[in-house]
Amino acid sequence: MADIAGKPVGSGHARIPLLGFGTAVFPFTASETMKESILHAIKLGYRHIDAAAIYNSEPPVGEAIAEALGLGLIKSRAELFITSKLWCTDAHPDLVLPALRRTLKNLGLEYLDLYLIHFPVSLKPGSCEVPFEEKDLLPLDFKSVWEAMEECQSLGLSKLIGVSNFSCKKLQDLLVTAKISPAVNQVEMNPLWQQKKLREFCNGKGIHVTAYSPLGGRGTLWGTNRVLDCKVLQEIAQAKGKTVAQICLRWALEQDVSILVKSFNKERIEENLEILDWKLSPEESQKIDDIEQQRGFLAPMFVSEHGPYKSLEDFWDGEL
């Protein structure tokens, strides 16, 4: 079993595993394949499972955890680090706690290790689904929604709370009134979108960064092969006798972040673990550092002339 126990996050003694298993598959539908893949990942040593209300992945994650316990793959639920996310339709002060209770029921758990605000935007309350209509876009009440998240932690329903897809400015806005700082900001990060400014900001505020789409989001609506087709990464991989995916994951690991990888292919699930017993050379790291940068996930669905964000610049605060 791989040693991916992780690093301390938040003000307590919680540790977030360095390598996590993602469950976002579009279209967002639960499946037996998903459950079996999660179970296989746990068997191999993955201990962080990342779910979200919008992914419809909470029930299969819960089933996989129950089966892992039944099979003796883990001795207790405490061995796992389970993350889920508050969808935008529930990003309203009075809906946060009910949404988390629903998530826990879906998972069959008494608590989460980490609960995240999925995006810095709200939607008109209603069914949890995408796509949604532009007219349903609403501004997020940072202060009140975060107070409800803090209540979730105070009640012990989530050990840690955090955010996802937040820019430096939006984090700063949140921190102005927060009594509990976000433990984590989960964001897109890979060699072609390295998030240097955001990581520096988060590091200065004691906020841990978790990287999603470390291979470029292939298989998502917005993802491309830009990362895996990058010539610099291909050359490093060939010289090192590794796959491009392994180079990307090792690079991210060396940036002192935790990583979420998503694959339902058993060989690749195992291959993604094989990044712990070797390092990139300073020259290789510099070559990656010099790669031209471009955000992959632009989130245009949250931009509308009638909504709170009129442009992509607005939504990302210029971090493009």
Active site residues: 55
Tokens encoding 197: 């400014």
d(CA 277, CA 2): 10
Tokens encoding 51: 């779910």
From 209, 187, 214, 232, select the one nearest 268 (Cα to Cα): 214
DSSP 56: T
Phi, psi torsion values for 293, nearest 5 degrees: -100, 140
DSSP secondary structure of 166-229: --HHHHHHHHHH-SS--SEEEEE-BTTB--HHHHHHHHHHTPEEEEE-TT--TTSSS--STTTT
Which residues 6+ apart lie within 8 Å of 204 measured at CB? none
Q: How far apart are the first and last CA of the chain?
A: 38
The H or E element spanning position 264 is none
| Contact predicate 95/61, CB 8 Å | no
Number of residues in the chain? 320
